[in-house]
Structure formats: C-alpha cells, structure tokens
Amino acid sequence: MEQALNKSYWKTKSLVDFSTEEWEALCDGCGKCCLHKIEYADTGEIEYTNVACTLLNENSCKCKDYTNRHKKIPDCLVITTKTINKIKWLPDTCAYKLVWEGKDLYWWHHLKSGSYQSVHDAGISVRGRTISEDEDVDLHDHIVDWIENE
C-alpha cells in the first residue's frame, strides 16, 4: 500500500533521501524531457525542438510505457541524483532541477496545486505543441524557443 506523501517533503529532505515514490512524484508532468534536443559539438549550445518521443502521450504529457521505456527507447535518459547536475538541457521549470538547486516548486506543480491539470492550465507543458518523431522530419526545421521562455 502506498504511503501518503508528506506535505512539502521536497523542502525538508535532500534529493538523495527521497523514496522512490517521492522521486517519481516530483516530476511535474510537463513532457519537456521527452522532446528531442540538438546539441552542437563545437559550441555546446543546445536547441530545443517540438519533436516528441514516440512514447510521449500528447494529452497527458506522460510516457505511454514508462516501465518498459528503456527496452523500447534505449537512449531514454533517466534523471537521477547522479545525473541531474550533468544534464545541461533541463529547463529552468523542471522540478528536479529546482529542488536540486534548493529552490521551491512553482505554484502550478501538482504537489502544490493538488492537481495534475495545473501544469497544462499554466501553459508549461508540451500539450498541443508537439509532433511525433514517427513523422519524417529534420529536427533543425522544428527548433522552438518556448521551452526556456516560459
């Protein structure tokens, strides 16, 4: 049986002390990490695209097969306490990044608002703004600036 999460646990505990349930609950459900990015080897610059992983549910902005995602998408990145400070492309709104940096969650995060819908209502999620990687596209034609400008 799942335990109820302690209110504001992300303020009182270190990320490394989070239970699996607490870690998973920290995800804000924006879907931004499921978008393809372009990193330029010569400059290290990263550009975001609106091209989504085939497993991204475009309505909920969650993975269609979270449990088996690594079997289906071998290069699917796992955000952990060991990788979080190495992932250069996490958006400034990412709950994992915010907590890692000692900041509070935004008002629209479900742990504060009480609703998974609030990330969509606030316009933070990728809902309605993506195309699937299953389409034959050139990533350079789908670069967007709305990820970091929210």
Task: For residue 139, tell me if it sits in a domain.
Answer: yes
What is the pLDDT averaged over residues 29-44? Answer: 95
Phi, psi values for residue 46, rounded to 5°: -120, 130
CA 51 to chain centre: 14
The C-alpha atoms of residue 54 and residue 16 are separated, in whole angstroms, by: 30
Q: Kindly state the average pLDDT of the residues 17-30.
A: 94
The verdict on residue 27 lying in a domain is yes
pLDDT band at 7 (very low <50, low <70, confident <90, very high): confident
Please, what is the average pLDDT of the chain?
A: 91
Mean pLDDT (whole number) for 131-146:
93
Q: Supply the range of the domain harboring residue 107.
A: 9-144
Number of domains in the chain: 1
Q: Which residues does residue 143 pair with via DSSP β-bridges, in sequence order? A: 49
**Within-domain flag for 149:** no
pLDDT band of residue 4 (cuts 50, 70, 90) is low
Q: In the prediction, which pLDDT does 2 show? A: 41
- Beta-carbon count within 10 A of 126 CB: 24
Confidence of residue 149 (pLDDT cuts 50, 70, 90): low
